[in-house]
Amino acid sequence: MRKIILVLGLCTILCSCPEVGGTDTYDYSIINNSQRTVTMFVYKNDVRDTSSKIILQHGERLQEKFKDSQPAGGFSMWALFNSQASGYTSDIEIIYDNSKKTLYHRCIDYLCSDPRNLFDNTHNDEFIETYTITPEDYQNATDCGANCY
């Protein structure tokens, strides 16, 4: 009887273990609905990485699918940018028609006070994430005169 209980207990433990070796798929995208042309850059160690430059016309989408083996590490929006520079990703800059810009700083300990921040955990916590750049984002951006570059 003890052997049966031991075998049943062992089977229960083994069946409750998470799947090992599985793969999770993440689908992340940024859509430009701002009515403007946007140019985006990643900052590495607080310096703009020009190799990460992405231009999106109104209505265009930047989209990537990532596969991650378990245990899943997850992804964040900055993974969409093909940065050649090494170092710590500190910011993402969005420039609207070379006249206004917004700089989103990396959240400390995943806590952000701005829900529009691309680094906010609410944009980086699911398998499918879509961040939409809106006309309101353009209106709230900082005017940088005639040249934001």
Q: What is the per-residue pLDDT across 1-44, written as a single tens digit (0 to 9) for each?
A: 555 444 445 445 444 444 455 677 888 899 999 999 999 999 99
Tokens 């800059």 correspond to what residue? 93
Let me know if residue 41 belongs to a domain: yes
Let me know if residue 15 belongs to a domain: no
Let me know if residue 14 belongs to a domain: no
Domain that holds residue 107: 22-143
Let me know if residue 12 belongs to a domain: no
C-alpha angle 147-91-131 in degrees, rounded to nearest 5: 90
User: Domain tally for the chain?
Assistant: 1
Let me know if residue 7 belongs to a domain: no
Q: What is the pTM of this model?
A: 0.77
What are 85's strand-pairing partners? none
Let me know if residue 119 belongs to a domain: yes
